[in-house]
A and B are shown apart, each in its own frame.
Chain A
Amino acid sequence: MLDYAWLIFVPPLAALLVNAFFGRRLGKPAAGYLGAVAVGLSFLVALGIFFGLLGLPAEERSHTVTLWSWIHIGNFRPDFALLLDPLSSLMALVVTGVGFLIHVYSVEYMKLDDEHHQLDARRYARYFVFLNFFIVAMLILVLANNLVLLYLGWEGVGLASYLLIGFWFHKPSAADAGKKAFLVNRVGDFGMAVAIMLIFAAVGAQAGSLAFTDLYRVIQQSAPLLAGVASTVTLLLLLAATGKSAQIPLWVWLPDAMEGPTPVSALIHAATMVTAGVYMTVRMSPLFELAGNTLTWVAWVGALTALMAATIALTKTDLKRILAYSTISQLGYMFLGVGVGGYVAAMFHLTTHAFFKALLFLAAGSVMHALHGELDINKMGGLRAKLPTTYRTFLIGAAALAGFPLLSGFFSKDAILVATFEHHAYLLYAIGLVTALLTAVYSFKMVFVPFWGQPRDRKLFDHAHESPALMTLPLWVLAALSVVGGLVNLPFVATLEHWLEKLVALGPVGKPEHPALAVELALLAVSALVALGGIWLAYRAYVQQPDLAVRIRERIKPLHTLAANGYYFDWAYNKLVEGLWAFSRFLAGAVDQQSIDAAVNGLARAFGWLGSRTSRLETGLVSLYALSLFVGLVVVLGYFLATAIIGR
C-alpha cells in the first residue's frame, strides 16, 4: 500500500492545473473549494502512509518508492523517489493537515483583496494555484529520498513563497518583500547547492544516487570518505537552513514576508516552509554528528536567534510582525534542540508550533478581517466583546505559545530545554529560559492589549464583526490541536520518541539518556513557573499598570532602540548592499563597459561580420555549391591519403 504514496501529489497537482486553466470559469468560491478539497485528499493519503508505516515492525519503517529514474549521468543518478519513514510521514501529516485547514480558511478570507474590495475571480483562482503548488513542492521536499530531489522541492517552496508574498504586487512594499525574501534565500540556497556538490564529489562512487539511506550507509560503513568535507558541508547546510528558516544571519526576510496574505503567513511563513531548515538538519543529522563542531554552531545560532527575536517581538506593535518575530524565535528553539541532539524534541516542537502558530496567524487574520486590515495593536482594545470566537481561540494559541502548563507548547518547549540541560549546556539552557519568559510576556501582550481593556479607536471598534463560520471552524480545530497536541509526546510516555526512534538511534549524540525522574520533574516545574511568571508580568505591565511598560522602556532606552531596530541587521545589509553597489558601479563602468564590453562587442561585431560574409557565400549558384563539395572532397581525400602514406 505504501507503494501508492505518490497519490499524495495527485489531488493538489490536478486542482492546480484545473484552477490554472479554468479557474476563472469556476468562479469565486468554487476554485477555493477545489483547492481545499484537494489538500484534504492529500491529507487522507498522508494518513494512509502513516498507518501503513505503523503496521510495519519498527526496524522496517523505511520504505523507498521509486517513481522513475530521473537523471543518469555517469555516477550521478538521483531518482524521482520517495522515502517513507517516520520523519517524512510526520512532516507530510503536518503539511497536508495544517495545509488543509488553512486552505479552508482561505476560501472565505481571500474573497476580499487587501483593500477590502471584492477580489476578482481570476486572481482568486491564481491564489489557490500558488497555494496548491506550494503544497506539492513542500511534499516533494519532505518526501524526497535524495538530496537533489529535496533541492527541487526546496527551490519550489521558495518560488511559491516569493509568488505569495508578492501576491498584492500592486503594493510596492509587497513586491519588495517578495524580492527580498527571494534574494536572501538565494544566499542560503547557494550553500545548499555547493553542499550537494561537495557530498557528491566525496561519495559519488559509493552513493551516486545521493539517497539519504545510501548516505547513512556510507556514514556508517566508510565514514572517512566524508570526514574531510563534513565540516564544510554541514556549515553550508546550516547556511541553507538559516536562509529558509530565517535564523541569524539571514532572518531579515521573514518579518517583511508578512506583506503576503495572512493565510500565507500562517501556512508558509509559520507552520511549514520555514521549518524545512529544521527538517533538513534533522534529516542530515548523521552527517552533522560526523562533523562534530557544527552541531554546537547550530545550537548557538538557534539560541541567539531565539533570544534576539523574542526581544524584538516585545518592541513591536504590529500584530503580524510580533508573530513573525515570534516564529523566528520559536524556530531558534528548534535549532537549539537539534544542536544539542534533541532531534525528537525539535520535531515535537515543530509539530506543536505548526498548530498554535498557524492558529495565531489565522486568528490575527480574523482580527484584520474584522478591522478592515488594521494591524496596530495600539489602535485596538476591548475586542473580546466583539470577536468572542477569535478571542478564545487566540487566547488558546497564545497560551500554548507562552508555554502555559499542560498545553502543547509547554511540553514541546520543555522537551527542548530538558535536552539542552541533559547536554550539559547550561548557558544555552539559561538563554532558553530567559527566552521562554520573554515569550510568555509578548504572547500575553498580544492578548491583553487588543482584546482587553477599553477600545482605543471607537470607529474601528464599532465596525468590528466576527468572521464567518468557514473561517472560525479551522480556528477551533487548530485550537483543539494546540491544546492536545502535547499528547503525541508526553514526557514519560514519549510516543513521538518511540515513533522516531530509528532516527534517534542513528547517531551517538542523539541517544536518549533519560536523567533521573526527579531532575526531569524539577525542570518541568521550572518551565511552568517561568511561563506563569511571564504571563503575570504581562498582566502587570499591560493591564494593571499600563504606564509600567512605558517606564521600563525609558529605563532601558538603548537596549530598546537596539531591539526595536532589529539589531540593525537590515541597516547593515543595506550598507553592505550599498557598498557592493558602489563597487559594482565601478565594475560596470570602468571595467565592464569600457574594457570587457568593448572587447565582447568587438568580438560580436567580428562574428556578425563573419556571419554576413559567410552567408554571402550563398550565392545561389549551383556550380559554386558543387565546387564547394568538390573542394571539401579534395581536402578530406588529401588528409586520408597523407595518413595512408605516412601510415605505410
Chain B
Amino acid sequence: MTLPTLDLVVLLPQLIVLTAALLVLVVDGLSGARSWLLAGISLVALLAAGAAAIWLSLQPGEPRRLQAMAVADGFALLFDVVIVVAAVLGVLLAYQSIPRISQQVGSYYALLLLAVVGMMTMGAALDLIVVFLALEILSLALYILAGFNRSEPRSAEASLKYFLLGAFASAFFLYGAALVYGATASLNLEAIAAALAGGSRSPAMLYLGIALLIVGFGFKVALVPFHMWTPDVYPGAPTPVTAFMSAATKAAAFAAFLRLFLTALPTAQPTWSWALAVLAAVTMTLGNVAALRQRELKRMLAYSSIAHAGYAAVGLVAGTAQGAGAVLFYLLAYAFMNVGAFGVVAALERAGEYDVARGRLAGLSERQPALAAAMAIFMFSLTGIPPFAGFFGKLYVFGAAVAAGWGWLVVIGVINSVISAYYYLQVTVEMYFAAPAAEAPAAAAAGKKGRAVAKAAAPSPAPEEGKAAPAPLSRATAAAVLAAALGTVLIGVLPALLTGWIAQAVQGIF
C-alpha cells in the first residue's frame, strides 16, 4: 500500500494565509499585543500569498495538482491576486474602524484571513466537494464578520439573515452537487465533463443539478432573485467587512462558477447560458433601478454591487475564453473601485452610524478634496467612463458577449450603464456642486482660503453640533483609498498590461 503523494505547494498561498490566521490568534492571546502588529502580520501574509501566487503562475510546464482535488493554474492564481487585492484593502480599512467597534481585533483579522483561505480554494478546486468545503469555510467566516459590531443590533440582524439564507443556499448547492454526481457518477470536474461528452444518461437529473448549482452560486454573487440578502447585509455589516466581502466573495464565487460551468459542463452550455443570460439581464436591471432611489451610500452600493454581478455574469454567459478572461479582468477592476468606494464611506462614517446619507457628501470637495477626488474616480469607474478600470472591464465583458452572439444582452447591459450613470454621477454632483446645508458658511470660507492642491490627509471636518464628527482620516484608510484609486486609474490607463496575462491564464479551464 502506498500513501498518496500530496503536492502541497499547490496550496502555498492558502497555507501562508492559514498560518498567518493562526499566528494572529496566538499573538492576540499574548497580553499587550498591539493592533498594528496584528494588522501587520495579516498584511505581510496576504502580500506573501499574492507573491507566492504570482511565483507559482510563472512556473513553466503543466500546472501542479494536488491529486485530483485542486490545481495551481494561472486561472486560480490570478483570482488569488484579485482576492489578495480586496483583502489587503480590507485590512487597511479595518485598521481604524474595527477597534472602535470591538475589543477582539485579533479574531477579526483571523476570520478575515480564514475567509481568504476559503476564497482562494474556491478558484483552485477541481472537485465539487472541495468547492463546497471552500464555500463553507469562507461563508462561516463571513457570517461572523458581518455581525462583528455587537453593539449594533442591525449588524447582528445582518449576520443572522446572511447565515439563515446562506445555509439555505448552501443546501441547494450541495443538493445540486449530489444530483450532478448522480447523473455522471463523478465529483471531479474533468471526469464530469468526460462523462457528459457522450451525452447524459439522465438529463433530467443533470439539469436539476445544474439549476440547483446556479441557485447556490447565484446566492453568493447576488444574482436576482437570489440577491435579497444583499441590501440588508451590506449596510448592516461593518463597512470594512462590506468592502472586503463585496469584492472578494464575488471574485471567489465567480472563480468557482466559471471553472465548474466551463470545465465540467460545456456540453450543457446552450441550456445553462440562456438561463444565466436571463438572470443577468434581470439582475442588471433590477440592481440599477433599485439603486436609483437610495438615499444612503452603503445601501446604494449594495444595489450597485448586485448590478455589477449582472455585468460580470454577461461574461460567463458568453462562455468563451474571451468571456472568462473578461470576467477576471472585471472582477479585478471591481476589487479596486468598489473597495475604494466603500473605503471613502468608511472614512466618512461616524461612530455608531448605521449608514451614510448621500447628503453628507455635500461640499466634500472643499473639506477633503483628495477624498472627494478619489470618490469621483470610483464613481466614474463604476459608471464605466474611460480612462478608468471599470470602462475596460465593461468593454471586455460586453465585447466577449458580442463576439459570442449575445447582442441583445449587451444592449440591455449598455442601457443599464446609462441608468447607473444617474446615481453614480449624483454622488459626484453632491460632492462638487451641492452646498452643505448646515456647514455652508464654514465650507465657503475654507474654500476661499485653501483650494490648495490635494493633500492626502487633510483632516478638516467642520464640527457639527449634536453629532459626532467623523474621526479624522487615518493613515491606513488614506492608504487604502489612495491604493484603490491608483489601481483604478492604472488599470484604466494600461489595460493591455493585464489582458495578455489573463488571456493566457484562462486557457487552463477549457
Contacts and interface: CB of A to CB of B under 8 A. Distances in A.
B6 interface: no
A407 B290 CA distance: 73
Contact of B293 (A615, A636, A644, A647): A615
Which of A68, A80, A624, A644 has the most chain B CB within a 10 Å cutoff? A644
B215 A636 contact: yes
Contacts, number: 119
B172 interface: yes
Nearest to A618: B231
A615 B275 contact: no
B169 to A, nearest CB: 7
Interface residues of A, number: 46
B165 A24 contact: no
A614 B283 CA distance: 12
Nearest to B214: A636
B290 A622 contact: no
Interface stretch (A180-188, A486-494, A558-566, A626-634): A626-634
A637 B293 CA distance: 32
Given A611-B290, A641-B208, A626 B168 contact: yes
Interface stretch (A70-78, A102-110, A374-382): A70-78
Given A611-B293, A615-B293, A622-B161, A74 B229 contact: no
Which of A77, A122, A631, A632 has the most chain B CB within a 10 Å cutoff? A632
A69 interface: yes
B430 interface: no
A607 B212 contact: no
A624 B157 CA distance: 15
Contacts of A80: 494
A604 B421 CA distance: 13
B38 interface: no
B495 A71 contact: yes
A608 interface: yes
B210 interface: yes
Contacts of A79: 496
B291 A611 contact: yes
Contacts of A71: 495-496
Interface of B is mostly: helix
Interface stretch (B63-71, B120-128, B218-226, B254-262): B218-226
A628 B225 contact: yes
A612 interface: yes
A22 to B, nearest CB: 8
B207 interface: yes
A633 B212 contact: yes
Contact of B229 (A625, A633, A647): A625
A634 to B, nearest CB: 9
A404 B229 CA distance: 83
Interface in A305-339: none
A637 B165 contact: no
A648 interface: yes
Given A20-B453, A637-B211, A72 B271 contact: no
B286 A614 contact: yes
B294 to A, nearest CB: 7
Contacts of A586: none
A435 B245 CA distance: 72
B152 to A, nearest CB: 15
B290 A629 contact: no
A623 to B, nearest CB: 9
A581 interface: no
A4 interface: no
Contact of B215 (A122, A632, A641, A647): A632
B457 interface: no
Contact of B228 (A23, A625, A633): A625
Interface residues of B, number: 52
Interface in A226-271: none
B90 interface: no
Nearest to B160: A622
Contact of A640 (B208, B396, B452): B208
Contacts of B169: 629
B242 to A, nearest CB: 16
B292 interface: yes
B440 interface: no
A80 B497 CA distance: 11
Contacts of B289: 607, 610-611, 614
A622 B499 contact: no
A635 B214 CA distance: 12
A70 B211 contact: no
Contacts of A607: 289, 292, 419
Nearest to B210: A640
Nearest to B176: A633
A426 interface: no
Contacts of A644: 203-204, 206-207
Contacts of A648: 203
Which of B214, B231, B292, B497 has the most chain A CB within a 10 Å cutoff? B292
Given A69-B497, A629-B168, A641-B207, A608 B293 contact: yes
A618 B232 contact: yes
Contacts of B165: 622, 625-626, 629
A221 interface: no
A632 B274 CA distance: 15
B469 interface: no
Interface string B223-263: 01110110110000000000000000000000000000000
* Pairs of residues from A and B, 3 with the lowest C-beta to C-beta distance, nearest first: A611-B293, A640-B207, A69-B496
Given A612-B293, A626-B168, 5 more contacts: A69-B496, A122-B452, A629-B225, A643-B207, A644-B207
25 contacts: A69-B496, A69-B497, A70-B496, A72-B496, A73-B395, A73-B396, A73-B399, A607-B289, A611-B291, A615-B293, A615-B303, A617-B228, A618-B231, A622-B160, A622-B165, A624-B228, A626-B168, A628-B225, A628-B226, A628-B228, A629-B219, A632-B215, A637-B211, A641-B208, A647-B203
